[in-house]
């Protein structure tokens, strides 16, 4: 672990040197923030990132791919796995593409026009916490890329690619590997207004956003050198934006759940500095394929039991009650310690983990288990910076 931290510190310092950031080596790469340059001092404006425009249709296959004109983009695959020994595990593989605010017209091939970041983790109750790893690389030179036209993003041997309705993820971490295939069984779920998803009171706080629920998983994983075949059920989110959070927002709570009856639930809330809900929304796909887009008035998150990280001291609400339209759900984690420390790539610490979903009926009680998915909690230690 010490060697891993030293390697990442060296890589981070090298990246800062290549980017040309002055001052102390501290930066949020999720934000892709660049310090004022000589070009700025000379009056050259930063290159503008594209804006989310309501009514712009989501178009496939083009929108499976990268959108480099936008500031922030991610492909986020989560799900549940079952090993040949009958273990239930969670996993996540995420690739980020971020576009720095560049100033002037620098023709150098070393100008960091795009950064590619990747996270991967396995939620393993027997391990007691996440197996996790991360990578970061400037796009180009055959080392890292996020291609347009179809999902094809990679950093060295880490990759996520889509071909003929199947995604393939390959991750080679320090202590674990993932070699997984995700076959589409349902059409993409367009979230928000036909794929335009509001994230705050200001219409500029928005993303283009679709999900692909119920991906059928096959492949293999290894932990500490031991390889096992796995099967499972996964969920993919693809979002791109240039102004995701407004200045008053500090983070979000999000769930993506594959329902056991073939339906799907995505729900989120954006939180302010005092824990208030600034915005919320969601999508509820029924077993027959019908979709109900949930308005802010229809989505409510109420925190339950909390867990405090022994490493960072951050407290996260790991159990929730969620109102999604007419349905009431309860969230319970596969294990409490699913804290993800990505300070060496995105600059963030957050909780991201496998959860079980229970539906509450009219009668009091624990409810009935109705699905499995993932919960993400950001902005609990400090405000999440996306730009």
Token look-up 């802010």 returns 296
pLDDT confidence of 111, banded at 50, 70, 90?
low
CA distances from 249 to 3, 136, 188, 245, 273 (A): 36, 26, 28, 6, 7
pLDDT digits 0-9 by tens, 122-154: 999 999 999 999 999 999 888 999 999 999 999
Question: Shortest CA distance to 64 belongs to which of 136, 135, 174, 160?
Answer: 160
What mean pLDDT comes out for the span 195-213? Answer: 96
Q: Note if the bond before 61 is cis, omega within 30 degrees.
A: yes
351 within some domain:
yes
225 within some domain:
yes
Quickly count: other Cβ atoms within 10 Å of residue 224's Cβ: 8
Print the domain residue range for 184.
61-377
What mean pLDDT comes out for the span 91-114? Answer: 73
pLDDT digits 0-9 by tens, 342-353: 887 777 899 999
What mean pLDDT comes out for the span 27-47? Answer: 36
pLDDT confidence of 361, banded at 50, 70, 90?
confident
74 within some domain:
yes
pLDDT digits 0-9 by tens, 11-20: 443 343 343 3
pLDDT digits 0-9 by tens, 224-262: 999 999 999 999 999 999 999 999 999 999 999 999 999
Q: Are 292 and 283 in contact (CB under 8 A)?
A: yes
More confident residue, 241 or 27: 241
Measure the CA–CA gap between 65 and 86, rounded to whole angstroms.
35
Measure the CA–CA gap between 165 and 112, rounded to whole angstroms.
32
152 within some domain:
yes
24 within some domain:
no
Question: Shortest CA distance to 190 belongs to which of 105, 68, 281?
Answer: 281
Measure the CA–CA gap between 301 and 321, rounded to whole angstroms.
6
387 within some domain:
no
In the three-class reduction of DSSP (H, G, I as helix; E, B as strand; rest coil), residue 249 is classed as: strand
Question: Strands 348-359, 115-123: parallel, antiparallel or unpaired by DSSP?
Answer: unpaired
385 within some domain:
no
10 within some domain:
no
Element (H, E) at 19: helix 2-19
Number of domains in the chain: 1
Q: What string of DSSP letters covers 338-361?
A: -EEEETTTTSEEEEEEEEEEEE--
Q: Identify the CATH number of the domain in which residue 121 sits.
A: 2.40.370.10
Question: Shortest CA distance to 334 belongs to which of 380, 372, 303?
Answer: 372
CB burial of residue 55 (10 Å; 0-12, 13-18, 19+): exposed
Question: Strands 189-190, 130-138: parallel, antiparallel or unpaired by DSSP?
Answer: unpaired
């Amino acid at each position: 672990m010490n060697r891993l931290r030293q390697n990442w510190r060296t890589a981070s310092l090298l990246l800062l040197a290549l980017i040309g950031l002055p001052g102390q080596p501290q930066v949020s790469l999720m934000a892709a923030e660049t310090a004022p340059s000589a070009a700025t001092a000379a009056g050259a404006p930063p290159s503008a990132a594209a804006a989310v425009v309501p009514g712009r249709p989501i178009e496939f296959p083009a929108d499976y791919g990268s959108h480099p004109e936008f500031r922030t983009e991610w492909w986020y695959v989560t799900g549940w796995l079952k090993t040949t020994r009958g273990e239930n595990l969670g996993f996540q593989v995420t690739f980020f593409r971020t576009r720095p605010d560049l100033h002037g017209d620098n023709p150098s091939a070393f100008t960091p026009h795009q950064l590619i970041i990747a996270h991967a983790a396995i939620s393993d109750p027997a391990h007691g916490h996440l197996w996790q790893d991360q990578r970061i690389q400037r796009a180009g030179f055959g080392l890292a890329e996020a291609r347009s036209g179809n999902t094809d993003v990679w950093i060295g041997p880490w990759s996520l690619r889509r071909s003929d309705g199947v995604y393939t993820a390959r991750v080679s971490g320090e202590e674990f590997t993932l070699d997984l295939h995700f076959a589409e069984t349902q059409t993409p779920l367009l979230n928000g207004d036909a794929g335009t998803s509001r994230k705050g009171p200001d219409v500029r706080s928005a993303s283009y956003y679709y999900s692909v629920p119920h991906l059928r998983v096959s492949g293999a994983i290894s932990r500490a050198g031991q390889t096992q075949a796995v099967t499972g059920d996964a969920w993919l989110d693809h979002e791109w934006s240039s102004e995701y959070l407004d200045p008053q927002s500090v983070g979000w709570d999000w769930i993506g759940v594959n329902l056991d009856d073939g339906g799907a639930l995505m729900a989120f809330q954006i939180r302010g500095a005092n824990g208030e809900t600034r915005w919320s929304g969601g999508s509820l796909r029924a077993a027959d394929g019908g979709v109900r887009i949930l308005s802010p008035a229809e989505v409510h998150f109420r925190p339950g039991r909390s867990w405090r990280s022994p490493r960072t001291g951050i407290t996260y609400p790991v159990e929730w009650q969620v109102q999604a339209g007419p349905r009431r759900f309860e969230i319970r984690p596969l294990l409490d310690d699913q804290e993800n420390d990505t300070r060496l790539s995105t600059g963030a610490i957050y909780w991201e983990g496998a959860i079980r979903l229970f539906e509450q009926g009219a009668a009091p009680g624990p409810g009935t288990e109705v699905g499995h998915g993932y919960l993400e909690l950001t902005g609990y230690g400090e405000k999440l910076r996306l730009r």
